[in-house]
Amino acid sequence: MIDLHCHLLPGIDDGAADISLSLEMARASAADGITVTACTPHIMPGVYNNDRAIIEAGIARLESLFAEEGIAMRLVVGADVHMDVELISGLKSGRIPSLNNTRYFLFEPPHHVPPPRIEDNLFNIMAAGYVPVLTHPERLSWIESHYGVMEKLVQMGVPMQITAGSVTGQFGRRVKYWADKMIGEGLAHILATDAHNLTGRPPNLSRARDMIAERLGEAEAMHMTTTRPQAILDNLPPDRWPPPPGAQDSRKSAEGEGWLSRLGFGRKRRGRYDR
C-alpha cells in the first residue's frame, strides 16, 4: 500500500514531535503493509513556513536512520499545502514540493470556512499544469452546506483523498457519514492515513482498506490504496486512472469536451511533467 499523506517528519509541524516518534510511526506504517510514504508536512504561511529544502533535509535524515534501523519503507517528497497567493509561483519555482516531483500536490482547504472562489482558484492551478488532490473533504465542517462544491470539483478533475480514520469512525459519526457518502457516490479516489502520531492519528491504512473491500470489492480497495497513488507517483495523467465505481465521467462535459481535455491532461503535452 502507498500512503500519500503522512506528517512523519519530526518537529516541523503538528505531526511527529521528535525523531523517536518518527521512527515508531515508520515501523507502524511498515507493519501495516505500507511500502511507500509521502512526507507531507503543512506549508501554511505564517504558521508552518516549510519549503522544499526543509522537507528534503528531513527526508534525507529519516532515510539514513531507516537504513540503520532496517525499516523497509520508501519515502517521497510532498507537502500539505494551504491556499496562498504565491501557490502557483511556489510550485513552479520548486519552493513548494509536489508529490514525488509530479504534477500532483496535496491541497488542504480551510477547515471551518469555505474558501471563496475555490472552483476558479483550483481551475487556475490546473490551467498552470498542476493537479490539486483535495485532502480530507469529509472532515471539513462546511461540507454539509457545500457538498455540491465537491461534486463540481470532481467533475473538473480534482481528485479527492479520504482519511482512513474517517472510514473507520475514528473522527466520529458525522465524518464517517460524509466519507461513506463520497465513497458510495464515486467521489473518492484515494485513501491515506494523514497520520500525525501513534495514538489519536496513527499510520493505519489496512483497516479502512479492508472495510472498503467489503463494501465495494477488492479491486476498488486496491485502486484507492495502491493503483491510483502509484499513478500519482508515476505522474500518469488523470484520464489513465481507473474511475471509482459509480463515478460520472469527469472527462466529458455537456459540450462534449471535459475539463481534463481542455487543460491538456488527456493528450500529449510539452513541459516538465510530461510522461
Residue-wise DSSP of 125-187: HHHTT-EEEEE-GGG-TTTTT-HHHHHHHHHHT--EEEEHHHHHTTT-HHHHHHHHHHHHTT-
pLDDT 10s digits, 138-158: 999 999 999 999 999 999 999
Specify the CATH number for the domain of residue 86: 3.20.20.140
Q: Look at residue 52 and tell me if it is in a domain.
A: yes
> Is pLDDT above 50 for 247?
yes
Q: Residue 168 falls within a domain, yes or no?
A: yes
The size of the chain, in residues, is 275
The answer to whether position 271 is within a domain reads no
Residue 222 CA: distances (Å) to CA of 166, 206, 216: 18, 11, 10
Would you state the pLDDT for residue 144?
95
Q: Is the dihedral of CA 116, 122, 125, 127 positive or negative?
A: negative
pLDDT digits (tens, 9 = 90+) for 116-133: 999 999 999 999 999 999
DSSP code, position 48 = B
Mean per-residue pLDDT for 194-204? 96
Q: Of 33-42, 166-175, 253-262, which range is least confident?
A: 253-262
Local confidence band at 275 (pLDDT 50, 70, 90 cut-offs): very low
The pLDDT of residue 243: 95
Judge whether 224 lies within some domain. Answer: yes
User: What is the domain extent for residue 97?
Assistant: 2-263
Candidates 237, 221, 246, 273; CA nearest to 159 is: 237
CB neighbourhood size of 256 (10 A)? 7
Q: Are strands 36-39 and 74-77 parallel, antiparallel or unpaired?
A: parallel
Average pLDDT over residues 73-95: 96
Flag whether pLDDT at 250 surpasses 90.
no
Structure-model confidence comparison of residues 269 and 261, the more confident one: 261
Residue 273 within any structural domain of the chain: no
Q: What is the pLDDT of residue 264?
A: 54
Residue 272 lies in a domain: no
Average pLDDT over residues 23-30: 98
What is the average pLDDT score of the chain?
91
- Rounded mean pLDDT, 79-104: 96
Give the per-residue pLDDT at 199: 93
Whether 212 is in a domain gets the answer: yes
Which stretches within the chain are classed as H helix?
Answer: 19-31, 52-69, 87-93, 118-127, 147-156, 164-168, 173-184, 206-216, 218-222, 228-233, 259-263
Domains identified in the chain, total number: 1
Whole-angstrom Cα distance, residue 37 to residue 194? 11
pLDDT for 258: 44
103 in any annotated domain? yes
Mean pLDDT of 78-105: 96
Q: 39 has which bridge partners?
A: 6, 77
pLDDT given at position 151: 97
Segment 257-269 shows an average pLDDT of 46
Sort residue 269 into left (φ over 0), alpha (ψ -120 to 50) or beta: beta
